[in-house]
Structure 1
């Protein structure tokens, strides 16, 4: 009798699968599984992507990823945060380097318990007097990576929330865009239409009722093959501000498909096809410490997916 375990269903994403959700690929690997069951398998930690357990069935995947399903594996709860992702922890302020594919706050804790806030709460679990559940001081889109600041007690929450209301903290982002970007300032208001979609207001006609001011400062870090590596700064960042402002400037973010995709050369198109998320990384945060009010600076290097994309564009430049 052969005692080896039966092979687990798995599926490698081909060109036509790029951008599909994890739940969809679970169903591709296990055709007998319903949508509800596919999402449950993800939520309970029985699905791996390239060897790593992923809890979010809505996460979109890139060409070349391999999804493995183990329906007999033990159910797993939401994981704690990898301690190495806590880059600052002092005086009621915690700064975390968020990975891609993880919400800062879960939209529905019952059906999708995994979030950066929940992971951090499980990791800290402090009996200290005055401690509270971690409170995120701003939002970072699920697909993006980088620094997110949390207040972990009531005093720090009041002090830090005031700083962000007054827009005194400085946030800088490493951003990879298509085209030849130039340094400068993009000062264009944003507004939301009736369907909830965001737009840049171009200053024509009567301003929309929901228009909000937005300013992005742009510095060129490196010029690549048909692309530019930028450092973007904002004191009061609004949702999708970088994507909208940079697309408005004619240099859309690499990996961002909602606000226009430019015509690309074959080498660039090949690199673009491998991107499953926008190449934006929150790399720098400066703010006043909530206890002693001294200015602190926190940094986080871009993840391997970001640096490898930059390297691929540099290599394409050498070959051309």
Structure 2
């Protein structure tokens, strides 16, 4: 009885879908912000993204609840190595003895030796805040890491999962096409969609342009590549399943262009960060109103504020890189 109560205390929200797909809440900052996806095929399973090391106890409880043993997990897929997606990888690898880590070639070395990855994030947050959010991150043995270049096919107990290089949000990003379920697991390539914004079965989706590798042209191309597969549903790390993908692809393209226009209009302003942030806030609130969102302004901003801040930072970094490249090109001509 006591063990059952303890398990329930640890158990995160779980949503089960057909074809052995489940959404497990990673408990990152708040419920419904980040998901770990479970794919089950027969007596084998895989995880897509890991949350942070603080996501591990709840996810292990979810596996036990579903009667999946640690030994049955064959793969951990990291769509990319941003720490809300990959921060729990080293801890999971300790608990899942047969799992191999499948990661983009640009991210593999950072999983085997995370010193630079940790230092980069600490430079943003500071050490104490880093520890609070992400905890400890350890090296993963190179022999347990599978590098996945474009079009890599991984079979989960005979179920083909195809990994497609999809830059735009990050250069170390892939998405997973699961033909069995006509699904794509998109990490951050297909944007962010919180379930609190769903209205009458229609989701609200917007791009994530967080630092430091946003590339609008690549982002557009990656969305088009995914849609060419004619998926019926997408599983987003932020958060869970969305449908209506043709509509959302069109909205994503329009919003990427709108985001770029906002930052370009602020190019001549010295202290541009507050201007970009306010413009992104106004744009998303305007789109939510058109979406007929019933949340109050304060409730909506509570859900959006972290994404708006990160998007503004990423857009400004992209702008500065673009200006620098233009200056260098002009100087060499």
With the shorter chain as reference, the TM-score category is under 0.3
Greater fraction of residues in helix: 2
TM norm structure 1:
0.25
Higher relative contact order (Cα pairs below 8 Å, separated by 6+ residues): 1
